[in-house]
Amino acid sequence: MKIAVCVKQVIDTEAVKKLDPASWRLDRSVACVLNPYDEYAVEEALRIKEAHEGEVVAVCMGPEKAEEAVRKALAMGVDSAVLVTDPALAGSDAQGTAYVLAEALRTFEWDLVLFGVRSTDGETGCVPAAVAEQLGVPLLSTLAKVEVQGSTLTVHRETEQGYVAYECPAPAVLSVIKGINEPRYPSMKGIMGAKKKPLDVKDASSLNLDVSRFGQSGAKTRVLSGRSPEPRKAGVKIEDDGTGAQHIADFLASQKLM
């Protein structure tokens, strides 16, 4: 079984995030890491490989420095990787990203494509569905459990009402949630070995991409403005002299919470 796992490099959650006021894009000159949600997808792909044999390929779209995130996936145990990087890709929205990833996935055969449920920067959560639509295969999203029996997938999907079980034939696109597993830490041997694993770097021209479907000019969405969140205001302290309950009720009423 050949499994593709799509990964993304995101800004470290502990780094200060800033928007470029000229383009409204994130300033990515700060520390960046492998998207934490993608680590669960990498781990799940590796567990499926270990149970059923096969190969795991990481696929990433991003700037040249995104190779750092790809190398971490390789260090975790992924066999090889494809990195699509090109200055023309800058400014792509979720649909543009899905288009590029789908075209990269068309360059080799696979049985499953795994994603983390979302990224910690865009937070759209719609790229897995858009990739499945582009490829014309089923989508199984927000999965808490994945089992493979031959060419049949049995999964548990997280919903507001609980978990729902589904069966689906491969090929398919899957997105997995945090908690489906515990991602492994790359060993020193894995980190050293990652430097020698195959990494196929592609650009827009090598994939014959339609320039009208990616980049800022091809984006279907626009950021019109942005601002930092307002600082939290000091809370209200109530000394209970026997009328505390009434003070609380009045406060809740003033905030239109009751």
Residue ranges making up the domain that contains 47: 2-218
The answer to the question of residue 123 being in a domain is yes
In a domain, 182, yes or no: yes
Residue 173 in any domain: the answer is: yes
pLDDT at 236 over 80: no
The number of folded domains in the chain is 1
3-state SS, residue 155: strand
Residue 31 lies in a domain: yes
Q: Is residue 230 part of a domain?
A: no
Q: What percent of the chain has pLDDT over 70?
A: 100
Nearest CA to 89 out of 109, 62, 108, 54 is that of 62
For residue 103, CA distances in Å to 6, 87, 93, 97, 233 come to 12, 17, 16, 10, 48
pLDDT band (50, 70, 90) for residue 235: confident
Angstrom distance (rounded) from CA 72 to CA 34 = 7
Residue, of 250 and 205, whose pLDDT is higher? 205
In a domain, 41, yes or no: yes
pLDDT digits (tens, 9 = 90+) for 112-124: 999 999 999 888 9
Confidence (pLDDT) at 158? 85
- What's the mean pLDDT in 221-245? 81
Question: Residue for token digits 């003033």?
Answer: 254
Kindly report the number of other CB atoms within 10 A of residue 56's CB atom. 27
Q: Within a 13 Å sphere around the CA of 105, how many CA atoms are in the beta-carbon half?
A: 32
Report how far residue 163's alpha carbon sits from residue 134's, in angstroms, rounded to the nearest whole number.
27
Instruction: Give residue for tokens 């949630």.
Output: 177
Inside any domain, residue 141: yes
Cα distance between residue 127 and residue 89, in whole Å: 16
pLDDT at position 160 = 86
Task: Say yes or no to pLDDT of 109 above 80.
Answer: yes
Higher-pLDDT residue of 244, 112: 112
Helical residues (DSSP H) of the chain, grouped into ranges = 36-52, 67-76, 94-105, 127-135, 188-194, 215-218, 244-254
CATH number (domain holding residue 168): 3.40.50.620
Task: Convert the pLDDT of each residue in 139-192 to its tens digit.
Answer: 999 999 999 999 999 999 988 888 899 999 999 999 999 999 999 999 999 999
- Given a cut of 80, whether residue 34 has pLDDT beyond it is yes
> How high is the pLDDT of residue 125?
93
Q: What is the pLDDT of residues 35-61, one digit of tens each?
A: 999 999 999 999 999 999 999 999 999
